[in-house]
Amino acid sequence: MFAIAAGAFVPLNFTAVRLAEAFTHPRVLSQTGGDLPGEMRLTFLVALAGMILLFVTLWKLELTAKHASIQLKKLRRQRDERREAVAA
């Protein structure tokens, strides 16, 4: 029910944004380059680079953790096999 009610407001929201465009913050990023001032552009690019580095770091950490988990399962399986061989 909520999705239906929320969906009904999509055209209203779209129209309101278009009508209020003159009163909102100017577009500083666009396909043609925009007019972002130099210090804001530098801040934006530094923040963007930081987010990219954070993403890559967390991604590598996740892959390392998955690899370690796979190795641990393999070692536990080998240990259990050796225990069974010694017990037999």
Cβ–Cβ under 8 Å, residues 16 and 24: no
| pLDDT at residue 65 is higher than 90 | yes
- The pLDDT tens digits for 6-33 are 888 899 988 888 888 777 766 666 666 6
Model pLDDT, residue 84? 92
Domain boundaries, the chain: 2-87
As a whole number of angstroms, the distance between CA 7 and CA 13 comes to 10
- Summary mean pLDDT of the chain: 88
| pLDDT at residue 47 is higher than 80 | yes
Cβ–Cβ under 8 Å, residues 30 and 36: no
* Mean pLDDT across 31-51: 85
* Mean pLDDT across 32-36: 71
As a whole number of angstroms, the distance between CA 8 and CA 2 comes to 10
